[in-house]
Amino acid sequence: MNYIQTAIDGVWLIEPKVFADARGYFMETFKQEEFDANVGQINFVQDNESKSSFGVLRGLHYQKGEFSQAKLVRVIKGRVLDVAVDLRRSSPTYGKHVSAELSEENKRQFFISRGFAHGFLVLSD
């Protein structure tokens, strides 16, 4: 996987290596050792899935204090504009945002550390 640090510390764009042939494709979506080496150690304890229609805007959502969450986001069908807003008051990028298009075609993932608001706009049917 290719780990790309965005303009805001704590948010990463992750591009998997896709192995495609006449049968379809295979890719690793997460590998703990590789993730830890590139991003840092995170203990994932919850996995969520949502389905939304074209034009739906979800967010911006965030959690505070002991309820704060890091998120690893990917799209399995369709296309979204995914956004993270830095809510860390001590951060030099406080109040700034970064976004990425995630889709079933590009198979990118967006890792968002704790301390960010998160949301997305659905760009496809």
Q: What is the CATH number of the domain that holds 54?
A: 2.60.120.10
From CA 125, how far away is CA 116, in angstroms rounded? 27
The structural domain count of the chain equals 1
H helices of the chain, in order, are 32-38
Q: Which residue has the tokens 């799209």?
A: 75
Total number of residues shown for the chain: 125
pLDDT at 46: 87
pLDDT at 14: 98
Domain that holds residue 15: 2-122
Note down pLDDT in tens along the chain; length 125 residues.
999 999 999 999 999 999 999 999 999 999 999 999 999 998 888 889 999 999 999 999 999 999 999 999 999 999 999 999 999 999 999 999 999 999 999 999 999 999 999 999 999 99
